[in-house]
Amino acid sequence: MPRVGLIFLACLLVAVNVTTRARANSISVTVTDLSTSPNDTATQTVSTPDFASDFDINSFSVGPNPSAPWKNLSVIVGGKANPPGTSLSSSIPYLDSSEVGVNNTSSTTHHIQIVFTAETFDLPAATSVQIVTKLNSDDFTGMDLSQASTLTASTTGGLIFSRQVALQSGDSANVTSAPIALSGDYSMTETYDLWLKAGGTVKGQMVMNVVAAAPEPPAIGLAIVALGGLFSGRRLLRRSSSGSNL
């Protein structure tokens, strides 16, 4: 092959390699009022990391406005993540929506959905992981009890997971999943599905971490431990029998 052809082929291979290694690292939040027609929607996306290599949404707010959109409704949200999975602040892949507050000053119930999405994670370097979540509410007194308000943490792509709790039944401690197969890059999502009564206020927060699953003991090791316990039990039984004959 002529030298020019070899150079072209090499450049093509480099271009393909760059494309396959591309990362859409970002965090975004979308706030939607499902009670309006058309739905009031606002979105913020952060695709540039901060000094610690985290992606940070800092107090994004919408409303209240004197007229549509976002009439008589105030929303303040904040969150942080570290795709592809490591930063100065954390070596563990995470999505943390630690600041969510909604205030409905209108005279009717409003259905609000707030969705945080972080992509694209490629850590930890493991084939089996566990997901640690904590989903809870700081204030659910403003929820409309005739409807179901929920908090949901989920992952998509090469890692499939979903966990949901009722807004008023949040976690008091971290909850760790069973081991889950990890087959490739994945995204994390935290969804607040909220029904606010007239004049109501709701606050919540979620955090989700992905860690390598703890290795299970080898089967041969378990067998040795079981045999050891069996022999120890027999020795104790013999001693007990010998003592009873004295």
In tens, the pLDDT along 198-236 reads 999 999 999 999 999 988 766 555 445 454 554 454 554
Q: Which residue has the higher pLDDT, 170 or 96?
A: 96
pLDDT of amino acid 149? 96
The tens digit of pLDDT for each residue in 129-169 reads 999 999 999 899 999 999 999 999 999 999 999 999 999 99
Output the pTM of the full model: 0.81
Q: Please count the residues of the chain.
A: 246
Q: Token pair of 156, please?
A: 């998509």
Please give the average per-residue pLDDT across 62-74, as a whole number. 93
All structural domains of the chain with their residue ranges: 25-219
Relative to beta strand 186-196, strand 150-157 is antiparallel
Q: Token pair of 6, please?
A: 């070899």
How sure is the predictor about 25, in pLDDT bands with cuts at 50, 70 and 90? very high
| All residues at 6 or more sequence positions from 226 whose CB lies less than 8 Å from its CB, including other chains | none
How sure is the predictor about 244, in pLDDT bands with cuts at 50, 70 and 90? very low
Q: Yes or no: say if 132 and 161 are a contact pair by the CB < 8 Å rule.
A: no
The counts of H helices and E strands in the chain are: 2, 13
Q: Token pair of 186, please?
A: 């994945």
Q: How far is it, in rounded angstroms, from Cα 181 to Cα 161?
A: 10
pLDDT of amino acid 1? 54
Angle CA(12)–CA(17)–CA(22) in degrees, nearest 5?
125
The tens digit of pLDDT for each residue in 28-61 reads 999 999 999 999 999 999 999 999 999 999 999 9
Average predicted confidence (pLDDT) for the chain: 85
Most distant CA atoms of the chain, gap in Å: 99
Q: How far is it, in rounded angstroms, from Cα 113 to Cα 150?
A: 10
Q: How far is it, in rounded angstroms, from Cα 192 to Cα 31?
A: 9
